[in-house]
Structure 1
Amino acid sequence: MDFWIIQALNALSFGMLLFLLCAGLSVIFGLMNILNLAHGSCYLLGAHTALSAINATGNFFVGILAGITAAAATGFFLQKFLLQRIYGKRLLQVLLTMGCMFIIGDISIILWGADPMTLPKPAFLRGSLVAGSIIFPYYRLFVIGVGLFFGVLLWFLQEKTKWGAILRASVDDEKMARAVGIKVPTLFTIVFIIGTALTGLSGVLGGPFIGVYPGVDLEVLLFAVVVIIVGGLGSMKGAFLGSLIVAFLDNFGKALFPELAMFTIFAPMAIILALKPTGLWGKS
């Protein structure tokens, strides 16, 4: 029983990390119809920048702020100066953002080196919770709490506020939203910045137990693509539940069938894509 509880908690912490990574990407896909393959680069930059800030100041929360800022600035640059020029041109988006991903990856190697690194945990989160025979790190519980907090916050913003109504209207019918006076380009920029900022946050939070190394940007991008295919484009609920599904499949797949770890992730994705191309909670 202890094995199942610990693995479930590990999956839940990874799922919350995936949600922070994928929430913005899902809405960006659904709203802006942009395939941003450089999304994982914001994770990489967020983690590296946070590590530098933590080493300089010794403060984990300064590192969080630095990582979020670096990722948000990168998102703003990509959207405002590059992607804004090629809306609706999917092939150009793929080529451009893929090129940006390789460039940012090489710049990261130049600035921070190619050795794998692990972000230090804050001192007050370095212990473990002991409940009978179950021992679980405080830090992973912290990640679960942060993910749930942002899940509730983003749901509230999207479902219960005027800004959320504008966002939902723009996702459902962009042309009509423009016709009634909604400033869709400004909305695009705000959503893009928020999405990449959350990705930077996921990079900082994932640094202490996933680490940061060359190629992690591509790895997290693959997970993000699987999540939005499973959950559906433009749906915060889909991003949240899709993240949990993928995290549980990945964690239990690696624990029970390590030789089939990739199959347990991509086979369900392929089935969902074949049966319901819009995803489980996506809009037709």
Structure 2
Amino acid sequence: MLQTIAFSILDGVLYGMLLFMMSSGLTLIFGMMGVLNFAHASFYMLGAYFAYTIGLATGFWAALFLAPILVGAVGAAVERYGLRRVHAYGHVPELLFTFGLAYVIEELVALFWGTVPVAYRMPELLSATAFTLFELDYSRFKVFILLISVVMFGGLWLLLKKTRAGLVIQGSLSRPDMVGALGHNVPRVFMMVFAFGCALAGLGGVVGGIHFVTDPGMAFMMGPIVFVVVVLGGLGSVPGALIASLLIGVLQTFFLSVNFSLAGTIGTLGIENSGFFGVLWHMEAMRLAPVLPFLLLVLTLIIRPRGILGKREA
């Protein structure tokens, strides 16, 4: 039992950090631009496919750097020639634009790479065992994912809180007229922020495509959970996104690994396995795991609409 709990926590932290890698870019884009990008998970998918294709020619390590740059370039083009023009008409057209863009990207991926999963594998160097706990091996690749996500969080925090560029980015959201009067090109700042957020999603796809699966459905599989992380953590809060990612990752993995029910844990208390509440009382945690993030989302919106560390009510 102790072995199961220990590994469910380790795997939960790993899954949570992967969620943070995917959601941090969306948190940055919304926090700095006020744009809730429905196509964000599609840039995560592009990162996986770009890394797979580049890796065939150059290997994984070059793809790790080049794929996010290419995804960022695609994001910059989307913002410059699409989203910027739609932005003038309000938030609803923005949402519809990004929603349609997600389907366009999915169809393009299926057209170029096919509809079946591609053989995207981890490099040989990271396939070895990093350490052994309770006679079970933990691979170097999982440790590598944790290191990448920690570096990403530290870099984002330093960028937004300790650099002049971070002040310009935050000022461009709250007072774009003042930032423009100081000589900064506000539309270019927004384009760079959007591109950087997409590049972060692409970086998540580089490692997430190996850990999960790389196929045209990966965006719609992870997209809803990414939005849950952003709302639960607080719209625009990078530390909040980290906390929400770890919370969802650990709880969902724990529910999948350590199977239990309320009836078995607390006792039946006279409730029979009949009717709606009886079924819920005896339902196994494994069956509740897929819906757990969305249950947290609903409870958060009811109890604390601004999220864990959110400061804006929007």
- Shorter-chain TM-score tier: over 0.9
Q: Deviations over 1:160-200 (max 9, x none)?
A: 11222223334455555455554332221111111100111
Which runs of 5 or more structure 1 residues have no equivalent in the other structure? none
Q: Deviations over 1:105-157 (max 9, x none)?
A: 11111111111234211111102222452421211111001101111111111
The corresponding residue for 2:188 is 186
Trace 1:83-122 onto structure 2 (pairs within 5 A).
83-87=83-87, 89-122=90-123
Distance in 1 of aligned mates of 2:181 and 2:255? 48
Distance in 1 of aligned mates of 2:170 and 2:93? 26
Distance in 2 of aligned mates of 1:252 and 1:169? 41
Q: Deviations over 1:230-255 (max 9, x none)?
A: 01122111122121122222222333
Q: Deviations over 1:43-83 (max 9, x none)?
A: 111111111111223x1112223321231122111111100
- Alignment of 1:133 onto 2:135: yes
Q: Deviations over 1:203-238 (max 9, x none)?
A: 010111201112211122111100110011221111
Which runs of 5 or more structure 2 residues have no equivalent in the other structure? 260-284
CA contact under 8 A between 2:3 and 2:134: conserved in structure 1?
A: no
The corresponding residue for 1:3 is 4
3-state SS in 2 of match to 1:207: helix
- Alignment of 1:249 onto 2:251: yes
CA contact under 8 A between 1:118 and 1:210: conserved in structure 2?
A: no
Give the Å deviation of 1:282: 0.8
> Between Structure 1 and Structure 2, whose CA radius of gyration is higher?
2
The corresponding residue for 1:236 is 238
Distance in 1 of aligned mates of 2:240 and 2:169? 16
3-state SS in 2 of match to 1:130: strand
CA contact under 8 A between 1:6 and 1:136: conserved in structure 2?
A: no
Equivalent of 2:198 in 189, 196, 199 = 196
TM superposition score normalised by structure 1 = 0.93
Aligned positions, number: 283
CA contact under 8 A between 1:227 and 1:239: conserved in structure 2?
A: yes
Distance in 2 of aligned mates of 1:171 and 1:248? 34
CA contact under 8 A between 2:86 and 2:97: conserved in structure 1?
A: no
Trace 1:201-240 onto structure 2 (pairs within 5 A).
201-240=203-242
Distance in 2 of aligned mates of 1:101 and 1:161? 33
3-state SS in 2 of match to 1:92: helix
Give the letter for the 1:272 counterpart: T
CA contact under 8 A between 1:29 and 1:35: conserved in structure 2?
A: yes
Percent sequence identity over matched residues? 30
CA contact under 8 A between 1:75 and 1:193: conserved in structure 2?
A: yes
The corresponding residue for 1:52 is 53
